[in-house]
């Protein structure tokens, strides 16, 4: 599923226009990106959590030459699926 398909489904389920659903989705994505970039955690109960994580510096290999290279430490986004999402993907019904 791509963004356009997601917008179409959201518009149909919420009984709003595709333009309104697109603006809402863009706003939600922007808010999540801004919060995680600031270091906050965004939790959507039943769906999952978005947060930032530190990745330590490490040594890697250049796949072309085989030479060792130093990969610097960085901060990356991380998503952890919630229990309801995990159960849905596994094909089980969520507990109430």
72-88 per-position pLDDT tens digit: 999 999 999 999 999 99
The mean pLDDT of 34-54, rounded to a whole number, is 96
The mean pLDDT of 17-43, rounded to a whole number, is 97
Selection from 95, 89, 60 nearest residue 74 by Cα: 60
Classify 39 as helix, strand or coil.
coil
What is the pLDDT, as a whole number, of residue 95?
61
Judged against a pLDDT cut of 70, whether residue 94 lies above it is answered with: no
């Amino acid at each position: 599923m791509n963004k356009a398909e997601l917008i179409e489904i959201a518009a149909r389920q919420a009984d709003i226009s595709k333009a309104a659903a697109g603006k809402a989705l863009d706003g939600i994505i922007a808010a999540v990106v801004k919060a995680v970039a600031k270091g906050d955690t965004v939790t959507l109960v039943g769906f999952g959590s978005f947060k930032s994580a530190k990745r330590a510096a490490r040594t890697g290999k250049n796949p072309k030459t085989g030479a060792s290279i130093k990969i610097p430490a960085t901060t990356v986004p991380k998503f952890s699926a919630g229990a309801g999402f995990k159960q849905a993907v596994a094909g089980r019904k969520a507990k109430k």
